[in-house]
Amino acid sequence: MSGMEQRSTLSESPIPVISPPIELTAKEFAFVATLAREEFGLELGTGKEQLVNSRLGNLMRQRGFKSFGDYYRHLQSDRTGDALVELIDVLTTNHTSFFREQAHFDFLTQRIFPEQILAEQKGHAPLRIWSAASSTGEEPYTIALTAREYLGPQSPSLPSILATDISTRVLETARKGMYKADRFQGGIPPWLKKHLLRGEGRWDGWYRMRPEILGMVDFRRLNLIEPLPDVGRFTVIFCRNVMIYFSRATQEHVVNNLAACLEPGGYLFVGHSESLTGIEHPLQQVQPAIYRKRGAKK
Ligand SMILES: C[S@@+](CC[C@H](N)C(=O)[O-])C[C@H]1O[C@@H](n2cnc3c(N)ncnc32)[C@H](O)[C@@H]1O
């Protein structure tokens, strides 16, 4: 093929359309920030403009909205709640990983599981654990993997795990329980491999939780700032790396709601960069990022 022919072929190929980035006005940003605070508890303070422009810009392009005005009308007229779900899906940060903040999983094996075994011998209720901002599932599956490995597959003390998140997108991923090998930072040790199914063919490089691990976790959508549905009582609640996005007042509201769902003597785990200092709550700190409700297990 001559150089001339090449040029003519190129000139006929479609020119990719690159849409200019969307830039919200100060008023539009304030509207999104107010909505995020009131509906989801998220604080989008100054400094978050670029993140909101980029994520909302992508959403608006994908959904074919020409201007923020069009998108705003869509948000206002939607009665299904889907538009708000779509908005929270793009505004939240879902970063998570297996065995994140290992100290909490050590606390499960060193303190909570042994306590539970003793409690069950005295006829106490089975162990229930709640992962209250579970993102794509790595946190609740780490709880299930740790429990099954530590307690053994037949143990009556194996916990049932409730995993909730506000984002439908992350819950969809979580329910599948399928992860690329690189999601397991530091590799997959032999003990962990026996709880996973290895993908083949086009799933080469992927791992899936075995059915018995999948079956330990019940995923549901739940907004932590809304009045909680009746989820029952828990021995342990993980609420990690979500409260950093909330105002102090919202944090206090959420922590008190969660404390009410703990059984006496139950534990609340928060992220290691989160602190309950300055918040009124009924829990006692037992070690960094671990709080306990007063009273003895019933
Ligand atoms: C950074 S991830 C933390 C995941 C996991 N807990 C961890 O520590 O690895 C924060 C999660 O909180 C969820 N989230 C944000 N606002 C929420 C709300 N109001 N109610 C419930 N979940 C919320 C987000 O969708 C996101 O998946």
State the catalytic residues.
Answer: 55, 165
Q: How far is the CA of 30 from the centre of ligand 1 (A)?
A: 22
* C-alpha closest to that of 67 among 79, 83, 56, 55: 56
pLDDT of 58-114, one tens digit each?
999 999 998 999 999 999 999 988 899 899 989 988 999 999 999 999 999 999 999
> Cα 244 vs. chain centroid, distance in angstroms?
13
Q: Does the 103-293 domain belong in CATH 3.20.20.70?
A: no
Q: How far is the CA of 94 from the centre of ligand 1 (A)?
A: 6
Q: How far is the CA of 148 from the centre of ligand 1 (A)?
A: 25
Q: How far is the CA of 29 from the centre of ligand 1 (A)?
A: 22
| Residue of 165, 224, 247 best suited for mutating to test ligand 1, as the one with most atoms within 8 Å of CB | 165
Q: How far is the CA of 13 from the centre of ligand 1 (A)?
A: 44
Identify the residues whose C-beta falls under 6 Å from ligand 1.
Answer: 40-42, 92-96, 100, 133, 135, 139, 165-167, 170, 223-225, 240-242, 271
DSSP one-letter string for 183-212: GSTT---HHHHTTEEEP-GGGTTEEEE-HH
pLDDT at 170 over 80: yes
Note the pLDDT of residue 87.
93
CA-closest residue to ligand 1 atom 13: 133
Residues 6+ apart with CB under 8 A from 206: 178, 179, 180, 181, 198, 199
pLDDT of 192-219, one tens digit each?
999 999 999 999 999 999 999 999 999 9
Q: Are 134 and 165 in contact (CB under 8 A)?
A: yes
**Left, alpha or beta for 241 (phi > 0: left; psi -120 to 50: alpha)?**
left
Q: Are 160 and 218 in contact (CB under 8 A)?
A: yes
Note the pLDDT of residue 46.
82
Give the span between the Cα atoms of 143 and 139, in whole angstroms: 6
Give the span between the Cα atoms of 285 and 131, in whole angstroms: 19
Rg (CA), the chain: 23
CA-closest residue to ligand 1 atom 10: 242
CA-closest residue to ligand 1 atom 3: 241
| Residue of 38, 129, 130, 166 best suited for mutating to test ligand 1, as the one with most atoms within 8 Å of CB | 166
CA-closest residue to ligand 1 atom 27: 135
How does residue 120 score in pLDDT terms, banded at 50, 70 and 90? confident
Residue 165 tokens, joined: 């998140």
Task: CATH 3.40.50.150 in the chain: give the residue spans.
Answer: 103-293
Residue whose entry in the numeric block shows the structure tokens 């989820």:
231
Average pLDDT score over the chain: 90
**For the residues 34-44, what does the mean pLDDT come to?**
93
| Residue of 87, 91, 92 best suited for mutating to test ligand 1, as the one with most atoms within 8 Å of CB | 92
Residues 6+ apart with CB under 8 A from 183: 97, 98, 138
CATH class of 3-91: mainly alpha
CA-closest residue to ligand 1 atom 2: 94
User: For a pLDDT cut of 70, what percent of the chain falls above it?
Assistant: 92
Task: CATH 1.10.155.10 in the chain: give the residue spans.
Answer: 3-91
Q: How far is the CA of 298 from the centre of ligand 1 (A)?
A: 30
